[in-house]
Structure 1
Amino acid sequence: MKIQRRTDYLVRILQPTKAEQVLNAAIERALARLTPEEGQAVVDVRAELGAL
């Protein structure tokens, strides 16, 4: 039972909140409006940040 409660807790906290979902959707809409060059710049920055 203890393991199930911990599993339920982890599943709940790892799911994005409503605010995160709204923010991610807004980011995706903004990214969709970028030119290919701007989009590549975003990809490059994300790769650099991921390497940190």
Structure 2
Amino acid sequence: MLAFAAKCKKYIPQVVLSVVDVMPDDNIQSCREIANRIGVDFRVRHYQS
């Protein structure tokens, strides 16, 4: 999926990876760093039950 997102940014103006905020903060930060590394935007979505 990460390779796909990185390839998409060549053709799509805004690529965003997202996570839901039920994950531990350390995991969210790791995901943010991965998104930064491949050069795409990152968003944390709020879980609503």
Same fold (TM over 0.5): no
TM-score (normalised: structure 1): 0.37
Point out the structure with the larger helix share.
1
TM-score (normalised: structure 2): 0.39
Structure number with the bigger relative contact order (C-alpha 8 A, sep ≥ 6) is 2
CA radius of gyration, larger in: 1
